[in-house]
């Protein structure tokens, strides 16, 4: 029965990913956390996106109010962005009409105003990506020959393995990434 429901709704054999942004209960996120949230929203491989917290009103509501203020009810790619769609106060009011009780603390409310102000100042929903440093030699320990055909990245969760793998792929599309993060299974690797 569940399989048929998943097939009907297009969820069957789909890859799901999870991004945890640790925000203490009743607190506001940081600007950087909302920037990361916006990067996820702007990445079509990461959508649709589910936003949730413990109760689904405070921390999640703060993130969604920031989204409403910047993009309104449009998808980020559906418009040429020139300025926030609405004020922080309007976004909070709209969100509370849709989900009463959203944004539970004054700190969270103030943060939405702060974030919208930040977006106005930088004239973009997202900060520019930092340029890659130029002229810095790569330090390599050991000897490498020109016939490298396997790179194995080992490390703790969150240590940057997936990022490095993606950056390698950007620089040379001949690489193939085999990752339990992407395959959702250790057996694949």
The CATH number that applies at residue 80 is 3.90.190.10
Which residue range forms the structural domain that includes residue 154? 147-189
End-to-end CA distance of the chain: 31
Same domain, 52 and 90: yes
The pLDDT confidence band at residue 120, using thresholds 50, 70 and 90, is: very high
Same domain, 98 and 181: no
Q: Which residues contact 179 (CB under 8 A, 6 or more apart)?
A: 161, 162, 165, 189
Active site residue 154: no
Predicted confidence at residue 109, as pLDDT, reads 98
In which residue are the tokens 């009810």 written?
73
CA separation for the pair 14, 186 (Å, rounded):
17
CA separation for the pair 116, 112 (Å, rounded):
6
Predicted confidence at residue 166, as pLDDT, reads 83
Same domain, 114 and 151: no
How far CA 115 is from CA of 92, 151, 170, in Å, comes to 13, 40, 31
Token pair belonging to 77: 């790619």
Residue 38: its H or E element: helix 31-41
Contact 65, 86 (CB under 8 A): no
Same domain, 115 and 163: no
In which residue are the tokens 């956390």 written?
33
Predicted confidence at residue 189, as pLDDT, reads 54
Q: Is residue 134 part of a domain?
A: no
Same domain, 38 and 92: yes
| Selection from 98, 40, 34, 19 nearest residue 66 by Cα | 34
Other CB atoms within a 10 A radius of the CB of residue 184 amount to 12
Q: Is residue 131 part of a domain?
A: no
Q: Is residue 140 part of a domain?
A: no
Total domains, the chain = 2
Predicted confidence at residue 188, as pLDDT, reads 57
The pLDDT confidence band at residue 48, using thresholds 50, 70 and 90, is: confident
Name the catalytic one among 53, 66, 154, 189: 53
Query: Mean pLDDT score of the chain, rounded to an integer?
Result: 83
The pLDDT confidence band at residue 179, using thresholds 50, 70 and 90, is: confident
Q: Which residue has the higher pLDDT, 25 or 134?
A: 25
**What is the model's pTM?**
0.65
Q: What is the pLDDT of residues 2-40, one digit of tens each?
A: 445 555 666 666 677 788 899 999 999 999 999 999 999
Q: Is residue 139 part of a domain?
A: no
pLDDT at 104 over 90: yes
Other CB atoms within a 10 A radius of the CB of residue 87 amount to 13
């Amino acid at each position: 029965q569940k399989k048929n429901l998943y097939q009907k709704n297009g969820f069957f054999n789909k890859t799901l990913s999870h991004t945890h942004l640790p925000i203490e209960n009743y607190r506001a996120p940081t600007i950087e956390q909302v920037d990361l949230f916006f990067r996820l929203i702007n990445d079509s491989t990461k959508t649709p996106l589910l936003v949730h917290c413990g109760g689904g009103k405070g921390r999640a509501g703060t993130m969604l109010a920031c989204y409403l203020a910047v993009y309104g009810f449009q998808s980020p790619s559906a418009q040429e962005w020139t300025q926030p769609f609405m004020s922080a106060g309007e976004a909070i009011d709209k969100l509370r009409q849709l989900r009463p009780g959203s944004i539970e603390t004054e700190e969270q409310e103030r943060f939405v105003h702060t974030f919208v102000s930040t977006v106005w100042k930088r004239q973009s929903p997202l900060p520019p990506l930092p340029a890659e440093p130029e002229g810095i030699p790569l330090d390599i320990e050991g000897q490498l020959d020109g016939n490298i055909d396997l790179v194995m990245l080992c490390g703790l969760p969150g240590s940057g393995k997936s990022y490095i793998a993606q950056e390698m792929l950007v620089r040379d599309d001949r690489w193939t990434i085999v990752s339990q993060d992407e395959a959702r299974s250790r057996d694949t690797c």
